[in-house]
Amino acid sequence: MEDTPGPPEQGLPPLLIEAVSYAEDRHWEVAPGTWLIDGDGPARCSCGEPRCELPGAHPAAGADWRRRASAGPGVVRKWWTEHPQASILLPTGRSFDVLDVPEVAGCLALARMERMGLQLGPVVAAPMAAGQVGRRLHFLVLPGVLAKLPEMLRKLGWAPGRLDLVARGEGDWIVAPPSRIGGYSFAQWARPPSAINRWLPDAAELISPLAYACGREVPAARPAPSRPVGVR
């Protein structure tokens, strides 16, 4: 008896499948990142820099990575066929911006948003870079929040820089699931893309519960926050 052919995606690298899905299903631009290489000692970045600050979590294409980012499924498929271990980078400031908060505050805000009945977009849970502790939640919102965030926080009574709440916009990126970051941690979806969150919320709808949650974590004198993965 002949074997029954499996689905077209069967046997393909998971990163290739997901990268093509982001381009084909969500029309998000995608760019290939570096990847982690295992060996003796800690995993090292494929870029070859011994002291790489973002191992496995930065663009592989150099300074022109933004221009090369593509939402063409054929182009994306070619990239990950050539480099199936490459992390998946999603440029911010184009299809979406990101509100980036610590995981504890983000989970508190998620619970509050659900009680309020707010419509959420996808949310990524991303580990910090190697040598850093903790995870971040990345809330995808409509583009344009980067310039507006300081004033939005001031209206809520928070001085800029007081909260560990970061906007990611033009020129930045996030690392998308299931990319591996920092040792053996992987980016995951806290709220995966779906038909019901195809339309992204405006940042103004989420900023109050996010600021409230981040404010609960602010001590009397808080040190400057660690730089999240992808922030330059």
Contact between 33 and 88 (Cβ < 8 Å) = yes
CA atoms 136, 25, 11, 192: torsion sign: positive
- Report the alpha-carbon distance of residue 26 to residue 29 in Å, rounded: 9
Both tokens of residue 18? 């997901």
- Report the alpha-carbon distance of residue 227 to residue 222 in Å, rounded: 15
| pLDDT on residue 75 | 97
**pTM of structure:** 0.87
**Beta-bridge partners for 36:** 45
Cis peptide before 178 (omega within 30 of 0): yes
| pLDDT on residue 133 | 65
Residue 59 has phi, psi (to 5 degrees) of -60, 145
The amino acid that residue 53 corresponds to is: E
Residue whose entry in the numeric block shows the structure tokens 């409230």: 212
| pLDDT on residue 212 | 96
CA atoms 37, 104, 140, 9: torsion sign: positive
Residues of the chain with pLDDT under 70: 1-10, 129-133, 219-232
- Identify which of 71, 90, 95 has the alpha carbon closest to the alpha carbon of residue 32: 90
| Alpha carbon of residue 154 to chain centroid | 26
Distances (CA, A) of 13 to 37, 74, 81, 160, 219: 16, 15, 8, 42, 44
- Report the alpha-carbon distance of residue 229 to residue 232 in Å, rounded: 9
